[in-house]
Amino acid sequence: MTSLDTKPRKADKPARAVRSAGDRTFAGLSTGAGILILVVLAGVAAFLIAESLDAISAPAAEVPGGEGVWSYVGPLVFGTLLAAVIALLVATPLGVAIALFITYYAPKRIAATLGYLIDLLAAIPSVVYGFWGLAALAPSLVPFYAWAERNLGFLPFFAGPASVTGRTMLTAGLVLAIMILPIISAISREVFSQAPALHREAALALGATRWEMIKMAVLPYGKSGVIGGAMLGLGRALGETLAVAIVLSVSGGITFDLISSSNPSTIAANIALQFPESSGLDVSTLIFTGLVLFVITLAVNMLARYVVNRRADFSGAN
């Protein structure tokens, strides 16, 4: 009889999967694309910093405005954020409401047509939005601005004097809201349509109305997507140039009055209007304002990513 071998045998190492040439090529291209994005981003940042050094180190009296580069960029940052926040406050609830209507209320044929029309707004050029705001929206808002000054003038937002042309910060914000509406609506619609059917059917089976079902099963699931879409829309609003430059009547300064002709400009619109006639230190100052806009946009996108990731841990999807 042969004795049994009682020594433990080493476990066989799992065989490594051999990747095909196509897999290796795709992995290399994907890695290269990711690295290329970082290189381009770093290159843009390096260019903006290098070209802004003259404006940062220049004496205050030589910078446009004569009060230094930070005093020059301050009102522009304020105007940029104010116009973008107005657009976000208007477009986010409207975009979510449109997404809910298309997804859960409208008949299929109407939903498909309405979805195409909303998405089509993203294809309209900025200059068209600008001329529409200047020729149609601004004059139609003049009576409202006069009414707001008479009845709501105790609020700093409607202190007046009301603009007689309608080219105000509120008008610019409304134009921006229409421009970012397709982004928020499309992302919200996609997220809401992916809410778990089991949750929706269970809510309806328990006697919930359609709105109660949406409130309990759809909105908790789609919160992170709505926030992400809103932040993407905010990034678009921060960088919009032509529409704001055409609509807004600029006089400089910092003011919360939304209906007067005294409005701060935005960074992007100011660059577009001032760059053709600038040279030397003026160009460096404008590039510095572009660097500030670059930092703001990057911060907004990073904040959006943080919020989306944080909300995803607590959303109805889990």
Segment 103-125 mean pLDDT: 86
The amino acid present at 273, given as its one-letter code, is: L
* Biggest CA-to-CA distance, the chain: 111
What are the pLDDT digits (tens) for 254-274?
A: 888 888 888 888 888 888 888
129 Cβ contact partners less than 8 Å away, ≥ 6 residues apart: 175, 178, 179, 243
Question: If you average pLDDT over every residue of the chain, what do you get?
Answer: 83
DSSP assigned state of 313: T
The confidence band for 8, taking pLDDT boundaries of 50, 70 and 90, is low
In a domain, 33, yes or no: yes
In a domain, 20, yes or no: no
Domain total in the chain: 1
What are the pLDDT digits (tens) for 220-235?
A: 888 878 888 888 888 8
**294-300-301-305 Cα dihedral, nearest 10 degrees:** 160
Q: Is the pLDDT of residue 317 over 50?
A: no
CATH number reported for the structural domain that contains residue 154 in this entry? 1.10.3720.10
In a domain, 137, yes or no: yes
In a domain, 177, yes or no: yes
Segment 77-86 mean pLDDT: 91
User: What's the CA gap between 257 and 248, in Å, rounded?
Assistant: 13
In a domain, 21, yes or no: no
In a domain, 1, yes or no: no
Range with lowest mean pLDDT among 15-24, 112-121, 299-308: 15-24
Tokens of 214: 């949406």
In a domain, 10, yes or no: no
User: What's the CA gap between 55 and 268, in Å, rounded?
Assistant: 18
In a domain, 12, yes or no: no
What are the pLDDT digits (tens) for 37-59?
A: 899 988 988 988 888 888 888 78
What pLDDT is recorded for position 108? 83
Q: Is the pLDDT of residue 12 over 80?
A: no
Print the domain residue range for 244: 29-314
